[in-house]
Structure 1
Amino acid sequence: MSKDRKVCFLSLIIAYILMLTAFTADALASPSEVKTPHERTDKGYYTIVDEKQNILHQTAHMLTKGDELITADNMRYRIIEVKGDYAYSRLIGKEEMGNLSPSSEKSFLSRLLAQGEEKNIGIYHTHSDESYVPSDGTESIYGNGGILKVGKVFAEKLKEMGYQVHHSTRSHDPHDVNAYYRSRRTAAQLLQKNLSALFDIHRDAVPPQVYAANIKGQEITKVKFVVGRTNPRYQSNLEFAKQVKAAVDKTHPGLVQGILIAKSDFNQDLAPRTLLVEVGAHTNSREAAERGVAMFAEALPKVLGSPGTPPSTELPDAENRGSGWTIFWLVLLVTAAAFAYLYVNTGSLEGALDQLRNLYGRLLKRKG
């Protein structure tokens, strides 16, 4: 093969790899759907009621037909109509929560390898302006909301328990329809830290009694989990939310308000263990929210495992299959690059195949 031909061939291979890399990065950094409002913009809120008009929950999140709510007592409801400030729902049934018992399928080797392994947890804030009126004096502080302090308490509590915490306080303001688009890059960057879980910490915008509670003699705010139902990792993220709720229900009963399943992705398509957590509302005090989020942190080892131990729960099989496809494509890319290198060096397809056969033969002999 001539020198010019080799240079041309190598250039094509490099261009292919660069395009594939750029495509992958863009897929991570670009939203998976056209963004629509995620919450009420008129300072109002929805009241979710059941068939008997009993109030189940109140939230400023945008609600649509087909959204669902798993209540504090694990009853699952589906919204069948949204009219004005009311969302009318129908009972689906009792929801089975996540299994917290250690998996019997974990091998001794996997447990041994987990010893001493750092567990990384990511925290960020899509709505970095969100604040608490009784403590911060306003419901919104551009780029430096009280929610950042709630996130800091969450991070410090996790660090006390031995976790490696990556807390981003990057601003994603203004608080508009594009906030999740801007925070997507933050989430993608945090996920490069080999995270066990990623949390987007928010607060709601409803009357104070919706989240106010007294647990173990402390005035706190409850937390609520929000899962986006329009992303390919919906089932994995919902299972994670259910596992976390089951854990918190054991350590601090009454702390979790419920799980809202809404028509959006909330950037949860990026990973299987991503969760949006509402910590109180703008009408609650920030100090109560800080106490609530600290209690929430105390339950996470039951799901993620304490640092140096494997997680106590398994991800759904669907997510494992997704990881398998990622490995497959990576192996395919590396193999293609290696074959191209051999082809350029030998000058022919037959020569490249001979090199691969020789390499395979040496590996078999070494194994034997």
Structure 2
Amino acid sequence: MKKLLSVIVFSLLLTFSIVCRAENEERVYTLFDESGNRITSRMGQMYVGDEYISADNLLYEIISVNDETASAYARLIGNEPEDIFKVMSAKDNGKRLICMYSTHSDESYIPSDGDFSLEKNAGIYDVGEAFQKHLESLGFEVEYSKDTFLPHDAGAYRRSRSVAEDYAERMPAAIIDIHRDGISKDEYETTVDGEEMSKIRLFVGKSNQNAAENRAFAKKIKAIADDKYPGLVKDIFIGKGNYNQDLYPRAILLEFGTHEIDKSLVIDSTEYMAKVMSAAVGSPAEQRAQPETSEEKKASVSGIAILIGIAVVGVIVFAVASTGSFRGAGQRIKKTAGEITGGLFKGNRDGKSK
């Protein structure tokens, strides 16, 4: 009887925990710095250890969370390093494949769709199709799954995982999960090249073996967008969970706007993001054909010079140690150099070089 009672109590507590977590995932959390200044917000729970890269590339780490007030506080770590780590190359099969799906299949835009959530004809698929069209115009083959993974709950990522697994086996240039945020439209409204549109947030899951590469991929996308189309990418949120990004190093979750913004503004942003994505992934053949940049050449020359310098110092130290004097070291080095080069640097009897 006691054992049965324990099982019942445990089950109730587990159910309560799951329900509370699901409710928190549907709340807007606000992030503050240690001085109480507002940094950003997002639809969904924040956790201690989550990270945030702001529009100006400042890195914050969340150090405390208050679920009752849906607020979190973060410590400023400093500037996020600008170096972009190597990310796994796409499969060179003569095509540049990009695979996309929408885990939260009901997400919609109130001004255009009439509701923030629609089980049929959700607005998020209009955004995905526009993004697909622009990618295809740039030469990509794009597969966008229209499968739905309802309901919109904590199990949605489990239900969409089979689609992501199938995509990962095909080694595409990228796997993209298309979403929208659920915060105020004020945080997403922007102007790019004189055109009003929606910002895009990049979301990375840190609880997986590909987290470093997923993060590097997101940083690369943001760096390109910041250079080509300032104001397009809002920021990068690096949160607890894996969001199926553990399946592939070049997996990314893109949040196109928010439920309050007009869908037409979101669709306008897809053209620019397609150009950014094209620059971010390219193709292996294109990457091999690119000439070495002046910075890379300088780095190569500098690296060679350093190695030569280290070698020379090592030879001198060894020669001094073995002969007991700098003069003896000089004679030994000259003799060795003459033997190696066939006498090119061997001194004449008059002490002059040949």
Q: Name the TM-score, length of structure 1 as normaliser.
A: 0.68
Give the count of matched residue pairs.
271
Q: Shift of the alpha carbon at 1:199?
A: 0.4
Change (3 A) 1:38 1:133: farther
Change (3 A) 1:260 1:135: same
Q: Shift of the alpha carbon at 1:58?
A: 1.0
- Runs ≥4 in structure 1, deviation > 4 angstroms? 35-43
CA contact 1:227–1:276 (8 Å) conserved in 2: yes
CA contact 2:22–2:153 (8 Å) conserved in 1: no
Partner of 2:108: 131
Q: What per-residue deviation string (whole Å, max 9, x for no partner) do you get for residues 221-266 of structure 1?
A: 1111111111111111011111111111111111111110101000
SS of corresponding position for 1:198: strand
Please give the alpha-carbon distance, in whole angstroms, between the structure 2 residues aligned to 1:216 and 1:174.
38
Please give the alpha-carbon distance, in whole angstroms, between the structure 2 residues aligned to 1:37 and 1:152.
34
Please give the alpha-carbon distance, in whole angstroms, between the structure 2 residues aligned to 1:91 and 1:161.
39
Change (3 A) 1:39 1:310: farther
Partner of 1:270: 247
Partner of 2:180: 203
Q: What per-residue deviation string (whole Å, max 9, x for no partner) do you get for residues 308-360 of structure 1?
A: 52388xxxxxxxxxxxxxxxxxxxxxxxxxxxxxxxxxxxxxxxxxxxxxxxx
Partner of 2:345: none
Partner of 1:152: 129
Segment of structure 1 superposing worse, 91-100 or 248-257: 91-100
Listed as ranges, the matches of 1:1-368 within 5 Å are 41=24, 43-83=26-66, 84-99=69-84, 117-305=94-282, 309-310=286-287
Q: Quick one: higher RCO (CA 8 Å, sep 6+), 1 or 2?
A: 1
Q: Shift of the alpha carbon at 1:43?
A: 5.0
Please give the alpha-carbon distance, in whole angstroms, between the structure 2 residues aligned to 1:41 and 1:73.
28
Partner of 2:314: none
Please give the alpha-carbon distance, in whole angstroms, between the structure 2 residues aligned to 1:306 and 1:182.
30
Please give the alpha-carbon distance, in whole angstroms, between the structure 2 residues aligned to 1:158 and 1:133.
26
Please give the alpha-carbon distance, in whole angstroms, between the structure 1 residues aligned to 2:270 and 2:72.
28
Please give the alpha-carbon distance, in whole angstroms, between the structure 2 residues aligned to 1:307 and 1:39.
41
CA contact 1:128–1:144 (8 Å) conserved in 2: no
Q: What per-residue deviation string (whole Å, max 9, x for no partner) do you get for residues 37-93 of structure 1?
A: 887558531111112222211101211111010001000000111112211111001
Q: What per-residue deviation string (whole Å, max 9, x for no partner) do you get for residues 154-182 of structure 1?
A: 11110000011111111011111110000
Partner of 2:323: none
SS of corresponding position for 2:183: coil
Partner of 1:14: none
Please give the alpha-carbon distance, in whole angstroms, between the structure 1 residues aligned to 2:270 and 2:20.
26
Q: Name the TM-score, length of structure 2 as normaliser.
A: 0.71
Change (3 A) 1:234 1:184: same
Percent identity, please: 37
Please give the alpha-carbon distance, in whole angstroms, between the structure 2 residues aligned to 1:50 and 1:289.
29
Please give the alpha-carbon distance, in whole angstroms, between the structure 1 residues aligned to 2:21 and 2:94.
37
CA contact 2:25–2:45 (8 Å) conserved in 1: no
Change (3 A) 1:250 1:294: same
CA contact 1:124–1:168 (8 Å) conserved in 2: yes
Aligned partner of 1:179: which letter?
Answer: A
Partner of 1:339: none
